[in-house]
Structure 1
Amino acid sequence: MTLNEIAWSFSSKIYTSTEEFNQEIIDYQKAIYKTDEKWKPNEIVFDFPELQIQYEAWITDASQLLDNETLLDEEDAFDEDNSDQGMFQVEVVSHFKADNGENFTALEFLFKSHNQQANKELGDHVFFEGTDEDPNIIDGLPLCYIACGS
């Protein structure tokens, strides 16, 4: 999968323009790899009209979840054993719909994934390391895990 060879660092910046975001990815590829040849923004990376992503984050409470998000283990998410100075480590699942109603390009997928996480604390795991090769089907929709490293 193309995305597993793409370098990116998630941040709190919310992008409103895919053109600006694409240029930031190009610049980041050049800074890390000295080339942007592996970044293919228009390549279809998920041939599904809808999918889910799963990622890990630290949140203070459920109000930080966006409308298209749920917690993987909502029952124990805000248990005191899972707390560190008022922050709770959780697994978030987000539901995406493809803009064209058919599939996701690399740019659309990474753009949506980035903006989805921008309002949450990722700790030191901000460096994108790719996704599952073959997403699992959960509740009738593909679910892929966003792998991040430090």
Structure 2
Amino acid sequence: MKPLKAKAIDWIISICEQCSINDKEKLLMDCFFNFKLEGFADEPEVYIKSTLLGLEIGYEATLWLDGHTPVAGLMKKHLLTWETLQSLNNEKQQEMILELLMKTIHSRKRQYRKCQFCEEKLPVEHRFDKDTCFGCASERWGIVY
């Protein structure tokens, strides 16, 4: 299997080929790209999307409305401004995007822990505490969600 960083490089190159990063107007139309962390836990996704300020890099996570209703959400980690992007050549742009993407990936992966009971690897938003998932907390301690 190809290493994660090599997959990320290929993904960034394909994004750059699909749309010109230097063409802000074209990117603002609808630029949202997901990168799945295949083979890791529940295969979380990181993203790159265009905003008025630049390229936003972050990850998808579950947000809990009123403590009981899960909704999909985006957690922004980095912003690469249009000014910065346009000051770089294509190779340097790709290097900078890769660096921020890898930081985001590592940050997201660090949020995962194994449940002490079922041993499933889950992100912080699916755990009762640092060592116990919601399901096992309900099963073992009667916690109701």
Q: TM-score normalised to the size of structure 1?
A: 0.29
Could you state the TM-score of these two structures normalised by the residue count of structure 2?
A: 0.30
- Normalized per residue, which structure has more helix? 2
Which structure has more relative contact order (CA 8 Å, sep 6+)? It is 1
Q: Which has the larger radius of gyration?
A: 2
